[in-house]
Amino acid sequence: MLAQLSLYELLRDAEPLPKAIMAVLALISVLSWTVIFSKWKLFRTAKTHNRSFLRAFRKAGGDMAPIAAAVEQFPVTPLVSVFEFGYEELDRQVKQYGGLSNKVALERAMNLGINEELTKLEHNMNWLATAAAVSPFIGLLGTVWGIIDAFSALSESGSASLRAVGGPIAEALFATALGLFAAIPAAVFYNYFSHLIREITARMDDFLLEFLNAAERSNGE
């Protein structure tokens, strides 16, 4: 109870600039955790549904038509989107030329799908990187300001008493803690999500090759 009261008094009695710094760091932390939970859900769903779609695609044995007819039954995931880009181009070539006539155009179409999905996966990742990089410096600003306030209070009181410097020093340490609290999760999850993005991108590249092979086998038949 005393710790809660002390924290309340610290925030209540802080100068306007330290209050603003603490508010900014708290806002950065809240926004970072919002992005983290959102991305966590996105990547977990993408990995699960990618596996389900890939199993169905392989089970079809290269027959695109049943997958294309049932694609709406699958949740929207990276592999589904890449498949739709590829199948649309393949279907256009089949209707126009009677079969796969331009493998390069098909590959380009699927790469467009991969790039589009990659853009979606990377959405808001720059926020986590910025929060991880900037938060410690904002906290450091609050720390420096708190130390300046402590020396100012010390010079005004004329004595090196804890009462004179306790408040400003506490503000400085609290600003440091808030900066680290905002920066550390953002940095950890930025690195983790970057790993997941690379993993999903590799899956999309592998699927592109599987699709091209299936299209060529179908064309040969």
Question: What pLDDT is recorded for position 7?
Answer: 56
Question: What pLDDT is recorded for position 168?
Answer: 65
Task: Determine contact, residues 18/145, Cβ cutoff 8 Å.
Answer: yes
- Residue 54, pLDDT > 70, answer yes
CA angle 200, 201, 206 (to 5 degrees): 95
Per residue, the 3-state secondary structure of the chain, as one string, reads: CHHHHHHHHHHHHCCHHHHHHHHHHHHHHHHHHHHHHHHHHHHHHHHHHHHHHHHHHHHCCCCHHHHHHHHHHCCCCHHHHHHHHHHHHHHHHHHHHCCCCCHHHHHHHHHHHHHHHHHHHCCCHHHHHHHHHHHHHHHHHHHHHHHHHHHHHHHHHCCCCHHHHHHHHHHHHHHHHHHHHHHHHHHHHHHHHHHHHHHHHHHHHHHHHHHHHHHHHHHHC
Task: Determine contact, residues 24/135, Cβ cutoff 8 Å.
Answer: no
What is the overall mean pLDDT for the chain?
84
Instruction: Please write the tens of the pLDDT for every residue from 3-30.
Output: 444 555 655 566 677 788 888 999 999 9
Buried b (16+ CB within 10 A) or exposed e, 125-149: bebbeebbebbbebbebbbebbbeb
Question: What pLDDT is recorded for position 115?
Answer: 96
Instruction: Please write the tens of the pLDDT for every residue from 130-146.
Output: 999 999 999 888 878 77
Question: What pLDDT is recorded for position 176?
Answer: 83
Q: Which residue has the higher pLDDT, 10 or 151?
A: 151
Band (pLDDT 50/70/90 cuts) for residue 159 is low
- Residue 32, pLDDT > 90, answer yes
Of all residues in the chain, the percent with pLDDT exceeding 90 is 49
Average pLDDT over residues 53-79: 84
- Residue 114, pLDDT > 60, answer yes
Report for 15-19, 60-64, 114-118, 145-149: range of highest mean pLDDT: 114-118
Q: What pTM was estimated for this model as a whole?
A: 0.83
- Residue 220, pLDDT > 60, answer no
Average pLDDT over residues 204-210: 95
Question: What pLDDT is recorded for position 140?
Answer: 87
Of all residues in the chain, the percent with pLDDT exceeding 70 is 83
Question: What pLDDT is recorded for position 1?
Answer: 37
